[in-house]
Amino acid sequence: MATTAEKATPCCSANRGTAVGAAAKVKADSVLPVGNDWTVDQKRSAASAAASSAVTAVIRPVEEPAISKAPPKGVQLLTRAQTMHPLDPLSAAEISVAVATVRAAGATPEERDSMRFVEIVLLEPERRVVALADAYFFPPFQPSLLPRTKGGPFIPSKLPPRRARLIVYNKRSNVTSIWVVELSEVHATARGGHHRGKVISSKEVPDVQPPMDAVEYAECEAAVKSYPPFIEAMKRRGIDDMDLVMVDAWCVGYHGEADAPSRRLAKPLIFCRTESDCPMENGYARPVEGIYILVDMQNMVIIEYEDRKLVPLPPADPLRNYTSGETRGGVDRSDVKPLHILQPEGPSFRVSGHFIEWQKWNFRIGFTPREGLVIYSVAYTDGSRGRRPVAHRLSFVEMVVPYGDPNEPHYRKNAFDAGEDGLGKNAHSLKKGCDCLGYIKYFDAHFTNYTGGVETIENCVCLHEEDHGILWKHHDWRTGQAEVRRSRRLTVSFICTVANYEYGFFWHFYQDGKIEAEVKLTGILSLGALQPGETRKYGTTIAPGLYAPVHQHFFVARMDMAIDCKPNEAFNQVVEVNVKVEKPGQNNVHNNAFYAEEKILKSELQAMRDCDPSSARHWIVRNTRTVNRTGQLTGYKLVPGSNCLPLAGPEAKFLRRAAFLKHNLWVTPHDREERYPGGEFPNQNPRLNEGLATWVAKDRSLEETDIVLWYVFGVTHIPRLEDWPVMPVERIGFMLMPHGFFNCSPAVDVPPSSTSEIELKETGGSKPVSAGLLAKL
């Protein structure tokens, strides 16, 4: 693999510049197998020092520019220090500075004490700042990103300070506010340095409720379990030990004026474990139904309570727990032999901070409390054409889980797991159980907790390579020659748990230029209790007195595309492709003809589209000014996987907040303020169709602009007996595939696969056997 300096080729453009010659080789962070974290940390420090040295060498010649030399038009003189890339996620020290700055700005001690910090994220800078950083301050050093001028580009000595954006909830006044803080100077707390920040702006946001926090969930559970009428209700159901009771504080959504955001509300779901002390017990196996509770989350008091219907707790099912088969009376699969994933020469990817290089791909990794993993500045290095941008930003921005049972409490189960809870804040630390194999690079994630402290999820994001079977194969029957190119992919992922469900979010990068977005659904079903002898048409009976309601899972991927576009360019358009059957006649005398028909989606209202597998419908984002060797415009196409639309009526209450579910594809021009499809505050949102449905009503032009794709994909889950007590992984997703982007297949560059050998372990030793011979055996 080429070094960082060797790979610093400019973007595809008629005005290509040269890479900075002084950019020395910057060593990537060391990547070691699991269990060597202390070694990784030591080597990371050395790599960081090497990177700093290389950057210093690059900027030293222009660190003190002549005062008389004015900067060229479009390049602003920037004067403040910055040691982190403008797109790196906030560090723990930066979060502490932001919290301290906002708290100090409180007018009274009461106001400061009442501040609850819901979310703190990096305020992503304008693209000209990112371009300047990528051009001269951080690898792969691409000066061609900036406009050319007669006197050459003016290079400031420093980048502007980073900024943080905070969502603050005042527990005393029930007011939500948004703050922007400039992180002027940040020192590590351990060194006792001064923390300085500057409030750039603050505003109250009326008539909203911010996402719920884990601290609130814990307080809500304690309040419910200490409420005397609830204790009596549980005794009527045979439960005296409140330690067995589980209270999941679900947001109320918005079903009418009673759910208005003037109060911060939750309607908990109740479950009860058995007397078992089994650490692998499925606590969701015994739902408590018939009890209605409304909790004021601001003051943490029960404001409405009613024991409406005595539904017996489901009996303890012997199959309920997820212990091994042997402990449940079955037989474990002990005949499985070890399967080792080995990379004796280490991984093929390179890591420098949050910058990743693998094969010809390069991009940056970010993380937010709401979205979780974010992929920035995706590009592919394409020989003499240099570094070709594909996307500015990729992430999952929302997910909604509506249930199909009209009975209480299931009709109100329509969680917005990103907007009401936060996918990132619910992410796993993979130290507690790694989900990847081979050589792995982990990234930590830092968050604020509810009271303003900093919490770290160690090993939150996983980066690793995977073998992915055959990339390409052909056998020539005339010559007897066979060619095989084996596929490998780079995977970046994180996994989160929201109550009973687990969601794994994956971005796969392939050697042939594809990008795959994948979601893996697993975990435990959310269940309902039945009266003796009762069945329900809206779910599956999976155990005596227990059923699983039908439901759907919807995910929204936001893709800010940049096909062959520099940061200051917006030359993309969207084309829909449908396969049409040719009408019988002179052009189709054999009645076998069909063709692909293209239609440019010229405006936002035209671009509200649904999947149609019957016509192989897909969409292409094209650059309107860059062509391939046959004269066709270069592009990437979005290829849908399996998908669905909501199975609810048009007047369903959850669609009031989730109008974006009505179509599989939405397209908008880029706007920094348009980040979340249901608006920034979907919790108890009384406004109709906020977010995408409101934005596209402006019907803005999509011709030669900065294209943002919003792809909505989902799965309809009709539970099976085999989903009990655990739900095996279900996969859904989509592909971004090059379409006329390359002049030929990048798979040609992949080395041919060598003959595979399988080693059979036998009593007398071992002998290698070819795969073909093994099949005969």
Question: Would you name the residues annotated as active-site residues?
Answer: 417, 501
Can you tell me the distance from the alpha carbon of 24 to that of 256, in angstroms, rounded to the nearest whole number? 62
Alpha helices in 60-116 (DSSP H): 92-104, 109-114
How many CA atoms lie within 13 Å of 175's alpha carbon, on the beta-carbon side? 13
Can you tell me the distance from the alpha carbon of 439 to that of 361, in angstroms, rounded to the nearest whole number? 18
Helix (H, G, I), strand (E, B) or coil at 439: coil
Q: Across-strand partners of 402?
A: 414
Chain position carrying tokens 């992919």: 489
* Distance of alpha carbon 668 from the chain centroid: 20
Q: Exposed (0-12), middle (13-18) or buried (19+): which is 223, by Cβ within 10 Å? A: buried
Q: Across-strand partners of 310?
A: none
- Residue among 489, 503, 455, 404 at smallest CA distance from 746: 489
* Distance of alpha carbon 1 from the chain centroid: 29
Chain position carrying tokens 């990547």: 31
Inter-residue contact 220 to 241 (CB < 8 Å): no
Inter-residue contact 717 to 550 (CB < 8 Å): yes
What contacts 96, CB < 8 A, 6 or more positions away?
Answer: 189, 195, 454
Q: Across-strand partners of 491?
A: 464, 508
Strand spans (E) along 589-726: 594-600, 618-627, 633-640, 665-669, 707-717
Inter-residue contact 264 to 296 (CB < 8 Å): yes
Chain position carrying tokens 């303003």: 452
Inter-residue contact 79 to 71 (CB < 8 Å): no
What contacts 284, CB < 8 A, 6 or more positions away?
Answer: 246, 271, 500, 524, 525, 526, 527
> How many angstroms separate the Cα of 674 from the Cα of each of 66, 162, 251, 453, 705?
40, 21, 24, 29, 15
Can you tell me the distance from the alpha carbon of 163 to that of 183, in angstroms, rounded to the nearest whole number? 6
Can you tell me the distance from the alpha carbon of 650 to that of 646, in angstroms, rounded to the nearest whole number? 9
Inter-residue contact 645 to 659 (CB < 8 Å): no
Can you tell me the distance from the alpha carbon of 574 to that of 586, in angstroms, rounded to the nearest whole number? 32
> How many angstroms separate the Cα of 241 from the Cα of each of 65, 168, 272, 305?
73, 37, 10, 20
What contacts 533, CB < 8 A, 6 or more positions away?
Answer: none
Element (H, E) at 555: strand 551-561
Inter-residue contact 554 to 654 (CB < 8 Å): no
